Structure 1
Amino acid sequence: MSIAPDELRTLGNPTLLQRPKTAFFCSREYPLSAERPTFLWAMEQRYRNRCVLSGFHSRLEQTVFRYLLQGEQQPIVYVLGRGIQPNLRLEYGPEIADNRLLFVTPFEPDVRSITQETADIRNLLIAELAEAFFVPYAAPGGNLEQLLLSEAVRGKPVFTLDLPENQVLLAQGARVWHSGVLGNARGAGT
């Protein structure tokens, strides 16, 4: 799946698409041990002013989104699994006006709810737009694991947490993310 830029509907600052972007995905159900290091990762993204790209659908993704929004200069690309609705401009007006938030979707405004099909399309679009991935946890055999095996992700760096539950991801080639600026500075990461 490849969507031409002119087929995307946007609300916000489209120049954010030109920045290097790290996709953030996490399965809906995840081990609690993933929360603290994920929050540390989010803090580093804010500190380094790195553009984060996500559908912000799972509970952990939504929590990270709310945290990132608090950063005055934090660039965020939010990819929707439905059309852009009028309330987004009202709800996120200051962030849009500050040119630090972009909503992107391949769907028309009359697509008002997220289905498995629209979520899959959204996730593929995120994968195509991203240069790197941070996945604190992907459930074995789940949709996210399948996405990470797709052509859209192939050849792009995928970082995850060093958790026993992530052995499948690590065996598939994901690299362990190490905290840099705010942690132990043992290695690079996204």
Structure 2
Amino acid sequence: MSIAPDELHTLGNINLLRLIKTAFLCSRDYPATIERATYLWVLEQRQVGHCLLSGFHSQLEQSIFRYLLTRHYPIVYALGRGIQQGLKLEYETELAADHLLFVTPFEPRVTSTTQETADIRNLLVGDLADNFFIPYMAPDGNLQRLFDSEIVQGKPIITLDLPENQPLIQKGATIYRPNDLFGRESQP
């Protein structure tokens, strides 16, 4: 599915696509125990300066998005629908600060996200990403289908050490181990 940037509909700082983009994806129904390790990962990403890319669909993804907005972190938000008029007003400050980019392959007339548009959005995220952080992947869910596709093959994946993430680990995903403030590995 390789989509050229000029084929995308965008709103915001298109130069964010030039940064190293780490896709952050998490299944909708996830164990609450992963939240601490996920936030530790986000804090580490801020230090290395990677751009975060996501569809920000699950509750955890949305929570991370709101957290990052307040910290002027570079974000590429892939939409499963077209860019609507109100988006520019809603995120006017963040867009003006050049820390946010909305991308979508859909025309503005596509006003809601369906399973089909979500699958296309996930493929877009997979295509644009340089690497992935998947704290939790539900068995046989949307993310499982994405990671079974060719579009993500060969791209580094980091995940949490959970039984549900075994398909990712078996495909070579690295298990995330957070560092404490002094650079030592700590327990998630």
TM range (shorter): over 0.9
| TM-superposition CA deviations, 1:62-85 (whole Å, max 9, x none) | 00101111113x100000000001
Q: Counterparts of 2:80 and 2:183 in 1: how far apart (Å)?
A: 36
**Corresponding residue of 2:132:** 133
Percent identity (aligned): 61
**Corresponding residue of 2:4:** 4
TM-score by length of structure 2 reads 0.93
Task: Tell me if structure 2 keeps the 8 A contact 1:178–1:185.
Answer: no
**Corresponding residue of 1:61:** 61
**Corresponding residue of 1:104:** 103
**Corresponding residue of 1:176:** 175
For residue 177 of structure 1, report the CA deviation from its aligned partner.
1.4
Structure 2 residues without counterparts, runs of 5 or longer? none
**Corresponding residue of 2:76:** 77
**Corresponding residue of 1:40:** 40
SS at the partner of 1:83? coil
Q: Counterparts of 1:83 and 1:92 in 2: how far apart (Å)?
A: 16
The answer to whether the aligner puts 1:157 opposite 2:147 as a matched pair is no
TM-score by length of structure 1 reads 0.92
Task: Tell me if structure 2 keeps the 8 A contact 1:178–1:184.
Answer: no
Which stretch has the larger CA shift, 165-174 or 49-58? 165-174
Structure 1 residues without counterparts, runs of 5 or longer? none
Q: Counterparts of 2:148 and 2:183 in 1: how far apart (Å)?
A: 30
**Corresponding residue of 2:17:** 17
For residue 31 of structure 1, report the CA deviation from its aligned partner.
1.3
Alignment RMSD (CA, Å): 1.6
For residue 115 of structure 1, report the CA deviation from its aligned partner.
0.5
Question: AA paired with 2:62?
Answer: Q
**Corresponding residue of 1:31:** 31
Q: Counterparts of 1:61 and 1:93 in 2: how far apart (Å)?
A: 21
Q: Counterparts of 1:82 and 1:107 in 2: how far apart (Å)?
A: 6
Number of equivalenced pairs: 186
For residue 54 of structure 1, report the CA deviation from its aligned partner.
0.2
For residue 102 of structure 1, report the CA deviation from its aligned partner.
0.2
SS at the partner of 2:151? coil
Q: Counterparts of 2:123 and 2:131 in 1: how far apart (Å)?
A: 14
**Corresponding residue of 2:89:** 90
Classify 1:9/1:182 alpha carbon distance in 2 versus 1 (closer, same or farther; 3 Å): farther
Question: AA paired with 1:105?
Answer: T
Q: Counterparts of 1:182 and 1:26 in 2: how far apart (Å)?
A: 25
SS at the partner of 1:152? helix
Question: AA paired with 2:15?
Answer: T
For residue 185 of structure 1, report the CA deviation from its aligned partner.
4.0
| TM-superposition CA deviations, 1:34-86 (whole Å, max 9, x none) | 111011111222233320000000011000101111113x1000000000011
Which stretch has the larger CA shift, 46-55 or 134-143? 46-55
Classify 1:33/1:183 alpha carbon distance in 2 versus 1 (closer, same or farther; 3 Å): farther
For residue 4 of structure 1, report the CA deviation from its aligned partner.
2.2
Which stretch has the larger CA shift, 1-10 or 111-120? 1-10
